[in-house]
Amino acid sequence: MMPGGLSDTKPATPQVQHIADQVKPQFESRENRTCGIFKAIVYRTQVVAGTNYFIKVQVSEAGYAHLRVFMSLPQENQGPRLDGVQTGKTRDDPLTYF
């Protein structure tokens, strides 16, 4: 992987689901909706001064969203921050930089 580039798309892990769960309230507030489903499907990472996680989440029976979540370096002692959202996605939409 090139420095600053995106990793390959990988199946979501329990750690990625935990990150998604932590930013769910930020997503719901930003989108002004409540999600009964919020399941991480796949993800990519980008190493910056911390790590950007690009996560595809299922937000309804047939609806998906792409999240960009910034995780600061551990010594900064900050939680994940939702930096970007793309809604209206499908299960087959590729997860790309945004």
Q: What is the DSSP letter of 8?
A: P
Q: Is the distance from CB of 64 to CB of 90 less than 8 angstroms?
A: yes
- State pTM to two decimals: 0.90
Residue 24's domain comprises 7-89
Q: Is residue 41 part of a domain?
A: yes
How many domains is the chain partitioned into structurally?
1
- Output the pLDDT for position 3: 57
Q: Which residues contact 40 (CB under 8 A, 6 or more apart)?
A: 12, 16, 17, 19, 20, 55, 56, 57
Q: Is residue 94 part of a domain?
A: no
pLDDT per position as a tens digit, 51-65: 999 999 999 999 999
pLDDT per position as a tens digit, 19-53: 999 999 999 999 999 999 999 999 999 988 889 99
- Output the pLDDT for position 49: 83
CATH number, position 37: 3.10.450.10
Round to whole Å and give the CA distance between 95 and 98. Answer: 9
